Chain A
Amino acid sequence: MVFSYRLGPASAVITVHCRFFARYAEVLGRDSLELRLAAPASVADAVRELRTTLDRGAHLPERPLAAVNREHVPLEHALADGDELALLPPLAGG
């Protein structure tokens, strides 16, 4: 499923593969989706779109832990077309 938000006619667009885990996946009722965003876009921009547009998206925190392409990143990290963005609940390994 592809979600496209706030894209103007002349916007450069990137597509990000979003993944959700544990409680976030449970709350959203899904573990992944394709998100289209107007470029440039940061992780924070993606989180904002997900929180405001998805059903139950408001249950996501404003500043979740995030990983892009399997590496921890800050919310200011710039997204590129084709990135895999994972939103991580508070870690509880070990």
Chain B
Amino acid sequence: MSRLVTRDPIDVARLTMEISDAGRGGTVVFLGSVRRSAEDGPVTEIEYAGYEEMLSRELAQILDEAHARWPNAACAAQHRLGVVPVGEPSIAILAAAPHRAAAFDACRFIIEAAKRRLPVWKHEHFENGTSQWREA
């Protein structure tokens, strides 16, 4: 498992340290977390399944694309697999740049590309004991 994918809780402080630099005055952090509410009832947890080899490769590619677009920005990302309880993040995207506009733009670019391209699937577990694959 690469540093881009983890089965442990995401360490946002560590990711922030990776991209911190005195020359980057703006840092944007996006955390996508498990919601309790869903269309089909209260959720207790979501199990994330992934095509791990492709997931690491695709996320690295997205980060490379962001670096090409915003060469002065430093970006980091991590996706969590396995069981993620309500309230905990399943994905973290961070972007640091000299100024806030590039940091926001790079962060937005990465999360939107991640939603479109990462081979990850959610198996939702509900309070009533049932579960189902959530698609899209």
Contact = CB atoms under 8 A, between A and B. Distances in A.
B120 A94 contact: yes
A4 B8 CA distance: 41
B68 to A, nearest CB: 18
Given A92-B121, A92-B134, A92-B135, A67 B54 contact: yes
Interface string B38-79: 000000000011110111011000000000000000000001
B133 A88 contact: no
B49 to A, nearest CB: 5
Given A93-B50, A94-B90, A67 B135 contact: no
B135 A90 contact: yes
B133 A22 contact: yes
Interface string A45-78: 0000000000000000000000100111000000
Interface of B: 32, 48-51, 53-55, 57-58, 79, 90-91, 111, 114-123, 133-136
11 contacts: A21-B51, A23-B135, A67-B119, A86-B119, A88-B51, A89-B121, A91-B118, A91-B119, A92-B122, A92-B135, A93-B55
**Which 10 pairs from chain A and chain B are nearest by CB?**
A93-B120, A22-B121, A93-B118, A70-B54, A90-B135, A23-B133, A92-B122, A90-B136, A94-B32, A94-B115
